[in-house]
Amino acid sequence: MPVDKPGKRSKPSAARRAGRALRRPPAALARRIRRATHAGGAGESGLGKLIELHAVNSAGDMLITVALASTVFFSVPTGEARGRVALYLAVTMAPFALLAPVVGPLLDRLPHGRRAAMAAAMLARALLALSMAGAVATGGLELYPAALGVLVSSKAYGVVRSAVVPRLLPPRISLVKANSRVTLAGLLATGAAAPAAAGLHALGARWPLYGAFVLFLVGTFLSFSLDPKVDSAKGERPARLTKSAEPGDGEGTEPARSGAGAGEPRPRKGAVAGEPRRREGAPRPGLRTVGGAVLNALSANAALRGLSGFLTFFLAFLLREHPLHGLSAAVSLGLAGVAAGAGNALGTALGAWLRARAPEVIITAVLFCALGVTVAATVFYGPVAVTAVAATAGIVQALGKLSLDALIQRDVPEQVRTSAFARSETLMQMSWVLGGGLAMVLPLAGRLGTGVAAGVVAAGVAVSVRGLLAAARRGGPRARLS
């Protein structure tokens, strides 16, 4: 048996050299991803790990979406698929509408357990994906309770993530830019997971769910790797959700009893200067008392999310039954999907660049942009018009949501901000479902669909633009959060 000579290193075997060569590209890609997610101080603050966690979350959600779409949408004729999709919306979203408002207030009570809450949401989806693998091939009703659980768990993760980002904010990055980076990472992960999910689905209907199981398990461990300051409640104090005191109402002050300055209001003992006093015995106010800017932004975003839900389902069925001129159904659907995804990414990038300097103005602008494009698509219906509508829906949804988040961050006290994000997300989700339900009952006619889409946006313009512009004229706290 040959023995290596002393002082000389033995040459690595061919198998070892091949293994090293195979490891180099993934390792180099991982290093590049880590540099991108940790740039701008995100690595030191802990935001980089949250960005990576959200990428894993988005990839897992995409795998589950592909698995469900293959069962509910693509595996049956168009007429039956519409019935299955309508059943899916009804069975999952009706209970979701009742459970989702509870998520935010429940998580408000767990400021010291945010990492555990995110890990629990990941683990729940991992187990649910595994249970769905047994029912996805048949598309039976037992699939829908598991899908409901996935929705609620995903919602819980999203609510906690919104509350966590401000805790991990680097000094040189604004909150809006940080949210944009997290969202963009999720979009890129979704785009990368889509072809992987299609490849897994070629092996069998269950394989995308097995892949989701693995990803969500990884996400469970990544949740506990977040910086411990995520669980800190330092700086949080009781919220004052009452409206600002008007001059002369005496709220937040007590009259001087005698001596110099008698008859003039003076601050009550222990009060913070400029802080309105909550009257003893007054009921705890709700979200609507924060001001018209947030409420009008919610109405506008509900219209934009309804537009997105409507176009998602209407174009999916329309292009499957009536492909764009000269294109196959698969290419037509792919074109619309790529346009929507690219629009969402572009809107997120624009939001990071604009930093929501004037969120009321941005929301107003995207409403009119969406209205103009949908009206033009109704008049000039065709492949270019459909692509433009899909891309515009992605752009305006992303910009509108980032601006809404900036307003909530600006106007809603920190202690109840998690509930505010939960309620706003619930409203957005239900608006998306209502838009999709509207698409289910319409005939599959292109001009009719884009006309109805224009009507949805016009309703948002009518309800919210006047209030948004009035709030912008009055001015308020800066929404650029550094």
pLDDT in tens, 115-162: 888 999 999 999 999 888 877 766 666 777 888 788 878 878 887 887
Closest to 129 in 3D by CA, of 198, 209, 214, 216: 209
Helices 292-321 and 446-474: crossing angle, nearest 10°? Answer: 170
pLDDT band at 238 (very low <50, low <70, confident <90, very high): very low
Closest to 57 in 3D by CA, of 118, 115, 112: 118
Do the Cβ atoms of 210 and 78 come closer than 8 Å?
no
Coil, helix or strand for 265? strand
Do the Cβ atoms of 135 and 142 come closer than 8 Å?
yes
Of 160-164, 271-275, 335-339, 468-472, the least confident: 271-275
Of the segments 65-79, 351-365, 377-391, which one has the largest average pLDDT value? 377-391
pLDDT of residue 29: 57
For the cut 70, the answer to whether the pLDDT of residue 469 exceeds it is: yes
Coil, helix or strand for 422? helix
Q: What percent of the chain has pLDDT over 70?
A: 66
pLDDT of residue 164: 82
What single-letter DSSP state applies at residue 159? H
pLDDT of residue 124: 93
What single-letter DSSP state applies at residue 43? H
The mean of the pLDDT values for the chain is 74
Of the segments 52-66, 239-253, 290-304, which one has the largest average pLDDT value? 52-66
Residues with Cβ within 8 Å of 159's Cβ and at least 6 positions away in sequence, in order, are 103, 104, 107, 418, 421, 422, 425
pLDDT band at 409 (very low <50, low <70, confident <90, very high): confident
Closest to 467 in 3D by CA, of 294, 312, 268: 294
CA–CA separation, 319 vs 322, rounded Å?
Answer: 5
Closest to 439 in 3D by CA, of 262, 308, 276, 332: 308
Of the segments 235-239, 329-333, 372-376, 467-471, which one has the largest average pLDDT value? 372-376
pLDDT of residue 264: 38
For the cut 80, the answer to whether the pLDDT of residue 39 exceeds it is: no
pLDDT band at 251 (very low <50, low <70, confident <90, very high): very low
pLDDT of residue 56: 92
List the Cα angle 200/202/203 in 5-degree steps: 70
For the cut 60, the answer to whether the pLDDT of residue 246 exceeds it is: no
pLDDT of residue 281: 41
pLDDT of residue 295: 86
Residues with Cβ within 8 Å of 135's Cβ and at least 6 positions away in sequence, in order, are 142, 143, 146
pLDDT band at 479 (very low <50, low <70, confident <90, very high): very low
For the cut 50, the answer to whether the pLDDT of residue 269 exceeds it is: no
Of 189-198, 207-216, 365-374, the least confident: 189-198
Of 180-189, 364-373, 422-431, the least confident: 422-431
Q: What percent of the chain has pLDDT over 90?
A: 14
List the Cα angle 208/348/45 in 5-degree steps: 85
pLDDT of residue 271: 40
For the cut 90, the answer to whether the pLDDT of residue 166 exceeds it is: no
Of 138-142, 279-283, 290-294, 462-466, the least confident: 279-283
Cβ-in-10-Å burial (0-12, 13-18, 19+) of 211 comes to: buried
CA–CA separation, 251 vs 268, rounded Å?
Answer: 10
pLDDT band at 266 (very low <50, low <70, confident <90, very high): very low
For the cut 70, the answer to whether the pLDDT of residue 278 exceeds it is: no
Task: Give mean pLDDT, residues 334-357.
Answer: 80
CA–CA separation, 18 vs 1, rounded Å?
Answer: 25
Look up the pTM and report it.
Answer: 0.71
Q: Which residue has the higher pLDDT, 476 or 105?
A: 105
Of 30-34, 256-260, 318-322, 463-467, the least confident: 256-260
CA–CA separation, 29 vs 39, rounded Å?
Answer: 15
For the cut 80, the answer to whether the pLDDT of residue 111 exceeds it is: no
For every residue of 306-340, DSSP letters joined together read HHHHHHHHHHHHHHHHSPPTTS-HHHHHHHHHHHH
What single-letter DSSP state applies at residue 1? -
Do the Cβ atoms of 324 and 383 come closer than 8 Å?
yes
Of the segments 97-106, 198-207, 208-217, 322-331, which one has the largest average pLDDT value? 208-217
pLDDT of residue 252: 38
Enumerate helices (H) and strands (E) in the chain, giving the number of each.
14, 2
For the cut 50, the answer to whether the pLDDT of residue 270 exceeds it is: no
The amino acid at residue 403 is S
pLDDT of residue 194: 84
